[in-house]
Structure 1
Amino acid sequence: MPKEMTVIEQVLASLVKMSWESYVKNWLPLLNLPKELLFVLEQGSIEYTKAKAIT
């Protein structure tokens, strides 16, 4: 495994307690949400699981 991937895994594990695979699967797709929904998500008015379900 490249050194960069090891560092990324360590950072994610310390910050959010998830693997990079989980991050890629669950969080990166949120960036493709419509602007309005992404704004509501960023404000904390809706959970990410509900935002994913809406799309």
Structure 2
Amino acid sequence: MKEIPQPIQDALNDVAKKYSESPSTTNAGAVLRFFCRFVKPTTIIKMLAHSLSK
């Protein structure tokens, strides 16, 4: 499978958005939430899949 199905992309993006808007309890959580605001999960999955295919 070369592409992530659209319903899965939508679900991942929705979860990341909700996670980024939740309150952080640690410094690591704050950094992760900040990161989730700007980088979509599907981008991370595609980068990991590309690096694993090499």
TM-score, normalised with respect to structure 1: 0.29
Higher relative contact order (CA 8 A, sep 6+): 2
